[in-house]
Structure 1
Amino acid sequence: MQSYSRYFPSDPAASGWGWRILDTGRQQIAPQAKYPDAEHPLSYLFDSDGRRSLDEFQIVFIEAGSGIFESEKIPKMQVSAGSVLLIFPGEWHRYHPTPNTGWREAWVGFRGADATRVMHQFFQSKRAVLQTQHPQEITGLFDRLLHWAHQEIAGRDQIAASHIPLILAFLKADQAELTQPHNSDAAIVQRAKAAMLQQLDKRSDLTALAQQLGCSYSRFRFAFKRETGHAPREFENHIKLNRSRDLLQHHHLSVSETADALGFNSVYYFSRAFKRAFGSSPTEWLKTHQQQSK
């Protein structure tokens, strides 16, 4: 994997957006390799004690491997794949991969009025190490954020920054799930949603899923309807159709490839469901969207 990082110059047009992206990247650190990469700006490097303090928020997602994290408010602890490190401005911290494993990390640094409000209202620096239950979704959001960070278009910074609150929303959902009784209706629905999101290429066996979650199908369906307003199959189709627009637009899959990637029985059924949801066929929607983007 090729490492990538970008540090954004000040953009007056983005100052009032509420979320301002400052830097982002992804890097693979091989076992025994030096860390961090000396190519980062000096203000981002760790000092002789292995510490640093930033004037921005950061989200650091450990996608693979393991390592160590320590901060002003958190004693030294081990982190591993799926761990998310939240960095708060003005607080010293240090982290690094374990020499015998290395790691792959993705990160984004940010500021802004809305960012500050959300970070202080919903997260705490004394609980700055989280274990996400949605690693595939977080990875996908970083994929898209980094895609837009590469682009040289008007509004690039705002488009890239829009992925930050989505990442934080998943982390907040993880926290809420941990505080719910494991067998409550809300917890069952949260776990069902996570299972659906992790296998969008398949049509879920809802009866089997209910059994895995430790409840009857009738309770599962009732809980799902009450918590989401949708029946389980309706909800699954909804998230698949939303994902299909991303596959068509950003991954450049054909209509048939998109239908197959999302586990639809046929292109006809996929196209009919797409048109019912969005008012036009996949081909028509993509053509209109491409024209509007020119």
Structure 2
Amino acid sequence: MENYHKYLNISELEKKWNFYITTVGYSKTEKNIDYPNPKDHPLDHGFSWNKGRILDGFYVVFITSGRGIFECESIGECAIHAGTCFILFPGVWHRYKPDLTTGWEEYWVGFKGSYPQQLMESFFDQKVPIIKTGISNKLIAAFTDLLSTVHQAEIGYPQMITGQTLQIIAVLNRVKLMEEIKDDPESLWVSKVIFLLQHQLDRNLNIEELAAEFPISYSKFRKVFKSLIGVAPNQYHLELRLHKSKELLEEGNMSTKEIAYRTGFTSPHYFSRLYKKKFGFPPKVSRRG
């Protein structure tokens, strides 16, 4: 891939979207090359290693080959290797550069807006700006699609690339959560049970039996589940089944009775009562046709 970057002009229309992209790019810096090239960046984005910089928006930088150094005021200096993302937070001093003996390849996206600010502040910590993603095919594909959309510049593309950037943020969040789960056996147990619940919506499961394989009492497991997910495991499974029944009703291919049985309710009357309690109207209102 050839080096490519673009700094976008932001109109009031983009700002109304509350999530807008300021810059995207890909760059391969060969070994023994000064970094960064000041000709590649405007004054408000360029920086020197000696001074570093402070931005007024967010950046996600993905290193796919080579190695280098990243430093910011919250964590100090850290070695960066291929398969690593680092997040630049607004108002936080930072600097980074590839190792002269290897160079590196990087993708990046910069963005602003009230919506991404809410996401980043809620799900990411500026004290932990480095995420070890590995050479993620999903991230590479997402960045490649992002760059392609910007390069083609079709009508409405500024709004399209916000969705593509949101996908990148979602992948990073998932990687971060998986890393946290590895160090937390209780979260791993909850994750395993959630997987089973999401894939068994056709019956009312005995969740105590599912949790019995873990070295923890069910009351403790239920407490951990509720603290992580927000509801108890039985309630979580019930809501999954009700939402699935709503999807089936809206498709209009089965009767209410059939859908009740398909989603693990032995009594259509009981199903209708729970459905109305959940959504505020009876199942027949959701039916098409």
TM-score interval, normalised by the smaller of the two chains: 0.5 to 0.7
Query: 3-state DSSP class of the match of 1:162?
Result: helix
- 1:54-93 equivalences under 5 Å are 54-93=55-94
Aligned: 1:119 with 2:90: no
Q: Report the AA paired with residue 22 of structure 2.
A: L
Equivalent pair of 2:3/2:26 in contact (CA under 8 Å): yes
Query: 3-state DSSP class of the match of 1:180?
Result: helix
TM-fit CA distance, 1:48: 6.2
TM-fit CA distance, 1:135: 1.2
Q: Aligned equivalents of 2:137 and 2:83: distance in 1? A: 9
Aligned: 1:226 with 2:189: no
Q: Report the AA paired with residue 81 of structure 2.
A: S
CA 1:165–1:188: 2 relative to 1, 3 Å: farther
CA 1:132–1:187: 2 relative to 1, 3 Å: farther
Equivalent pair of 2:133/2:172 in contact (CA under 8 Å): yes
Q: Report the AA paired with residue 117 of structure 1.
A: Q
CA 1:136–1:188: 2 relative to 1, 3 Å: farther
Q: Aligned equivalents of 1:189 and 1:228: distance in 2? A: 14
The alignment-based identity, stated in percent, is 31
Q: Aligned equivalents of 2:186 and 2:160: distance in 1? A: 35
Equivalent pair of 1:133/1:174 in contact (CA under 8 Å): no
Q: Report the AA paired with residue 114 of structure 2.
A: A
Equivalent pair of 2:49/2:97 in contact (CA under 8 Å): no
TM-fit CA distance, 1:228: 4.9
Equivalent pair of 2:7/2:24 in contact (CA under 8 Å): yes
* CA distances 1:207-256 after superposition (whole Å, capped 9, x unpaired): xxxxxxxxxxxxx9x874434559xxxxxxxxxxxxxxxxxxxxxxxxxx
Q: Aligned equivalents of 1:169 and 1:48: distance in 2? A: 30
Point out where structure 2 has 5 or more consecutive residues left out of the alignment: 202-289
Q: Report the AA paired with residue 26 of structure 1.
A: Y
Equivalent pair of 1:185/1:223 in contact (CA under 8 Å): no
Q: Report the AA paired with residue 109 of structure 2.
A: V
Structure 1 consecutive aligned stretches of length 4 or more whose deviation exceeds 4 Å: 181-190, 227-230
Equivalent pair of 2:23/2:111 in contact (CA under 8 Å): yes
Aligned: 1:15 with 2:15: yes
User: Cα RMSD over matched residues?
Assistant: 2.6
Q: Aligned equivalents of 2:200 and 2:135: distance in 1? A: 22
Q: Aligned equivalents of 2:75 and 2:194: distance in 1? A: 38
Query: 3-state DSSP class of the match of 2:76?
Result: coil
Q: Aligned equivalents of 2:143 and 2:190: distance in 1? A: 25
Q: Could you tell which deviates more after superposition, 177-186 or 137-146?
A: 177-186
Q: Could you tell which deviates more after superposition, 124-133 or 63-72?
A: 124-133
* CA distances 1:151-196 after superposition (whole Å, capped 9, x unpaired): 2322111111211121111111112112225796975998xxxxxx
**Other-structure match for 2:100:** 99
CA 1:122–1:228: 2 relative to 1, 3 Å: farther
Query: 3-state DSSP class of the match of 1:149?
Result: helix
Q: Aligned equivalents of 1:79 and 1:14: distance in 2? A: 33
Equivalent pair of 2:27/2:106 in contact (CA under 8 Å): yes
Q: TM-score, normalised by structure 1?
A: 0.63
Q: Aligned equivalents of 2:118 and 2:160: distance in 1? A: 20
Query: 3-state DSSP class of the match of 2:2?
Result: coil
Q: Aligned equivalents of 2:177 and 2:158: distance in 1? A: 30
Q: Aligned equivalents of 1:30 and 1:43: distance in 2? A: 24
Equivalent pair of 2:84/2:134 in contact (CA under 8 Å): no
Aligned: 1:6 with 2:18: no
